[in-house]
Homo-oligomer: A and B are copies of this chain.
Amino acid sequence: MAEARKLRMGMVGGGAGAFIGPVHRIAAELDGEIEMVAGAFSQSAERSREAGARFKIAPDRAYPDYRTMIEAERQRPDGIDFVVIATPNHLHLPIAQAALEAGIPVVSDKPATATYEEALALAEAVERSGLPYGLTHTYAGYALVREARSMCAAGSFGAIRKVAVEYLQGWMSGPIETTGHKQAEWRSDPARNGQGGAIGDIGTHAFHLLEYVSGLQVTALNATLRSVVPGRRLDDDCNAFVRLSNGAAGTLACSQVAAGELNELRLRIYGETGSLEWRQQDPNRLVVKRLNGPEEIHHAGTPYLGEDARAAARTPAGHPEGYLEAFAVLYREYAAALRARQQGQPHALPPTLPGIEAGVRGMRFIERAIESSRRQGWVEF
């Protein structure tokens, strides 16, 4: 049955110069279940107002800061149903805490917080609040990532023996944080980004994807982090070995100095009798290889896919969906959980939607990777 009204979202961050604000707005609204009605888009009141105008929200709901927004919105009869956090990492925790304490559910950009300790604090806050907390590991929203996940869960390739995940970008190959590039700037600043550089920004995506699809957990890792560009304060390149909960071995690589790569997130999983491969830059195809059979390309939007993958598609096969649609799948799932809650139904997040547990594991991953690199050896997870 169709719902009476759209859910109302307020955004923190995502204002001028940010790539991620409009992306959250589009993704949230794409399936017609959510509308963005409020925001504290910048730490400058004026810039927040300007962003609000660009987003065409009512002028009185473009707030100068997130505390004001939370306070004002909770008073309104038509106040926001949830907050989305799209700020630099060091602000994730205080904003989330403030929202949760005010009884407002939270969707947050990843990584969950700036440090592992903060993540534990956040987990506690989420637990205490009883509110749904969603973490936008975007790539988990792709239909074929879900198909891959279903295949692993069904044991389609026998026991998993080997995984390889990599996330390679080249845009930080030069010292662009010194040239006024806003995103590079805060990402290279430990005070705003936390202790992880590439490992936090994209390594966490790779880590999440690996666990999300394989259904396994990393139990130990051996990572080498480097700051390749002279003068850079955080890591921009990482290679890691991982050990998985079933004894399988894996590799995880991430880099923001892989010159020439755009956004090369790629996952391969090898089992006893076959393997799969998925690439974010070619997201509507899932490659499956079996011992002694033809290679298979599974296409998004087809009837032979499993339920989870079919549920995540909007267009017929051959009509490509992309990054925004994957993002929107997460919002759609979050909206459904929120609706259930509003209607007094059970409202646990579905297992396909990353939540606070994923957030804590991601922060633990950063912390462990840094520790491993410091020690130049294996660390338990």
Contact = CB atoms under 8 A, between A and B. Distances in A.
A11 to B, nearest CB: 12
A167 to B, nearest CB: 11
Nearest to A293: B304
A261 interface: yes
A241 to B, nearest CB: 6
A275 B259 contact: yes
A114 to B, nearest CB: 23
B251 A54 contact: no
Contact of A299 (B54, B283, B294): B294
Interface in A306-329: 314-325
Given A239-B241, A257-B270, A299-B262, A32 B23 contact: no
Given A32-B55, A173-B273, A319-B322, A314 B22 contact: yes
A33 to B, nearest CB: 8
Interface string A161-193: 110100001100110000000000000000000
A259 B30 CA distance: 32
Interface of A, secondary structure class, is: loop
A281 interface: yes
The number of chain A residues touching the other chain, given as a range, is 35 or more
B259 A274 contact: yes
A282 B281 CA distance: 10
A41 B316 CA distance: 21
Interface in A238-285: 239, 241, 249, 251, 253, 255, 257-264, 270-275, 280-284
A302 B262 CA distance: 9
Interface stretch (A2-10, A99-107, A345-353, A358-366): A2-10
- Taken together, the copies of this chain in the complex come to 4
A129 B6 CA distance: 36
Contacts of A56: 2-6, 32-33
A333 to B, nearest CB: 17
Contacts of A302: 262, 292, 294
Contact of A303 (B32, B272, B292): B292
Contact of A173 (B55, B257, B291): B291
A26 B30 contact: yes
Contact of A263 (B25, B281, B294, B319): B319
A296 interface: yes
Contact of A377 (B237, B297, B377): B377
A263 B299 CA distance: 11
A251 B249 contact: no
A316 B263 contact: yes
A288 interface: yes
A290 interface: yes
A261 B295 CA distance: 9
Contact of A261 (B33, B289, B293, B304): B289
A311 B299 CA distance: 29
A339 interface: no
Given A19-B316, A259-B274, A319-B323, 9 more contacts: A2-B53, A162-B255, A251-B253, A260-B274, A263-B317, A281-B284, A282-B320, A294-B304, A324-B324
Interface of A: 2-6, 19, 22-23, 25-26, 29-33, 50, 53-56, 157, 161-162, 164, 169-170, 173-174, 222, 224, 226, 228, 237, 239, 241, 249, 251, 253, 255, 257-264, 270-275, 280-284, 288-299, 301-304, 314-325, 376-378
13 contacts: A2-B50, A2-B54, A26-B32, A161-B237, A161-B259, A164-B253, A173-B273, A174-B291, A259-B271, A261-B270, A292-B302, A314-B324, A377-B377
